[in-house]
Amino acid sequence: MKKRFVSLLMAAVMAAGAAITGCGSSGTAVSADTETPVQSEAPADTEAPAEEAADSGKKEVLEFYHGYYHDASEWAPAAVMREIYDDFAKTYATGNVEFKAIPSEDIKGVVENSVAGGSYPDMIDLAGNSVSLAAMSQNLLVDMKPYIDEQGIQANVGINYTQNDVGGRIYTVHDQLLTLGYWYNDKILKDAGAADPNTWQSWEDFDGAMEAVRAMGTDLYAYGAGQGSARCFNAILGTTEAGREMLTGALTEEAVNAPEFAEAFKTVAAMDQKNGSANASADASDGANDWGADFNQEKSAVFFNGVWAAGGFEDITNIRSTIFPGSVSLSSASGGITIAAGMSAEKEALALEFVKYMTSDEVQTRIFKEVGANPCSTTLDLNALVADADDKTKLLAEACAQANAAQNVVPTLDAVWGSDIANAIGNKLIESTVSGTDIDAKFEELKNELIGLIG
């Protein structure tokens, strides 16, 4: 049950396993803190020039690394993604360039090994990890913005067009989004006499509802704190103009010292302390604490997680989705497909065609329906797509539609500030859950730690 609950999120962040050494092409690249995995073949250290390949009668090979290595029995969406890649390869099988999808368990390692040698893999899906600053500084990546503009597919790439814009250049396009609001058990909240979450206008409304759940005097708890708490902090920043501005770039000392930053931390810390240290963990599913399993078993009222969780619920009778108070949702394009600069014109053209293919209506529909993710494209009517779908897919559509239509859609802390900073904030919030902890003192500790991290 736990595996089903977190499998989609796991695929977006895993970067474990043996590193794959050697990479195929050199050129202009962007790097990734990647999120995907399978090792089947290591890329060649060198590649024959296009002219030599043509003279020998051999096709050039466009190698595409991705992290969907899982067996279908372990994670079915991985098999769907591989089918999507295979369909592209078959479509262009008669061309002068062979498209070769290579699964890897260590996407991050593939990138880092290449960039260290001054090159970049032909093409790689970073699976939500950040583009490598070293790759960008060495001009190793193709700027996809001119192609996107020329093809008129801005709506298809969606928020990639703005969130992944770096000085007027777009080095990465992610075909699916990391989108979060939260889930709640409608029956539990009604039994507690709490107001409907869709009527909540402020975090005071949220806090009051959680108090009502705790006042029921049962074994129920309100919510699991920890990673979800950092998401709440993230969402509270999204309610103010100053907070939203902080989330448009790297964290600064000025932002750390801003009143909006302090207010966001202290608001969440106070709620978490009332929620109790027994209901807090850095790992949402570490065995001792499994917020997803508890929510499935109706032991908690609220579950902070992404839209993908819809497919993992066992019984959705009382489960509803909503966005954060203040009409805020968290949605990040993050790192996705990147293309190496310096390849032959034909290889680069096929790589760009692949980006267009992955953001097409047909593929985006499959990503939504069969992978269970929020597609990046804004051209799809998700509710229309699920007219004849099962209830879980309809629940996914509802969650995606709510998040996409939020008044304030802001990126996740991890995407803009990096995991070290996001983890530091989450850990300090966990420490604040202990009864009697001085939240002001914890915040001062956090400020010093963050200023040290950002240099």
d(CA 409, CA 404) in angstroms, rounded, equals 7
- 346 has a pLDDT exceeding 90: yes
Mean pLDDT of the residues in the chain: 88
Residue range 56-81: average pLDDT?
Answer: 93
Strand partners, 97: 60
Give me the helices (H) in 238-344, please: 241-246, 253-256, 259-275, 291-296
d(CA 3, CA 251) in angstroms, rounded, equals 33
- 3 has a pLDDT exceeding 80: no
- 287 has a pLDDT exceeding 80: no
d(CA 318, CA 302) in angstroms, rounded, equals 12
At 57, is the pLDDT very low, low, confident or very high (cuts 50, 70, 90)? Answer: low
- 329 has a pLDDT exceeding 90: yes
- 49 has a pLDDT exceeding 70: no
pLDDT of residue 47: 45
Residue range 28-45: average pLDDT?
Answer: 35
Q: In the block, which residue shows the tokens 């597609």? A: 375
Strand partners, 141: 340
Residue range 258-281: average pLDDT?
Answer: 96
For residue range 127-136, what is the model confidence (pLDDT) as tens digits? 998 999 999 9
- 7 has a pLDDT exceeding 90: no
At 286, is the pLDDT very low, low, confident or very high (cuts 50, 70, 90)? Answer: low
Residue range 289-293: average pLDDT?
Answer: 86
pLDDT of residue 58: 85
What's the N-to-C CA distance of the chain in angstroms? Answer: 42
pLDDT of residue 219: 86
pLDDT of residue 25: 40
Tell me if 330 sits within 8 A of 182, measured CB to CB: no
pLDDT of residue 14: 35
pLDDT of residue 284: 65
pLDDT of residue 32: 33
Mind giving me the DSSP string for 106-136? -HHHHHHHHHHTT-B-SEEE-TTPPPPHHHH
- 50 has a pLDDT exceeding 80: no
- 16 has a pLDDT exceeding 50: no
For residue range 187-221, what is the model confidence (pLDDT) as tens digits? 999 999 999 998 999 999 999 999 999 999 888 99
DSSP 176: E
Tell me if 163 sits within 8 A of 409, measured CB to CB: no
- 26 has a pLDDT exceeding 70: no
Residue range 417-444: average pLDDT?
Answer: 96
For residue range 134-185, what is the model confidence (pLDDT) as tens digits? 999 999 999 999 999 999 999 999 999 999 999 999 999 999 999 999 999 9
Tell me if 319 sits within 8 A of 183, measured CB to CB: yes
Please report, for residues 5, 99, 186, the alpha-carbon distance to residue 90 in angstroms, rounded to integers and kept in the order given.
Answer: 33, 9, 47
At 40, is the pLDDT very low, low, confident or very high (cuts 50, 70, 90)? Answer: very low
Please report, for residues 23, 36, 170, 332, the alpha-carbon distance to residue 144 in angstroms, rounded to integers and kept in the order given.
Answer: 21, 21, 5, 18
pLDDT of residue 48: 44
pLDDT of residue 288: 59
pTM for the model stands at 0.83
In 31-140, at which residue ranges do the beta strands (DSSP E only) sit? 60-66, 97-103, 123-125
Cα angle 203, 206, 211; round to 5: 125
Q: Which of 78, 101, 80, 79 is nearest to 89 (CA)?
A: 101
Residue range 55-80: average pLDDT?
Answer: 91
Strand partners, 337: 125, 173
Q: Which of 453, 380, 386 is nearest to 422 (CA)?
A: 453
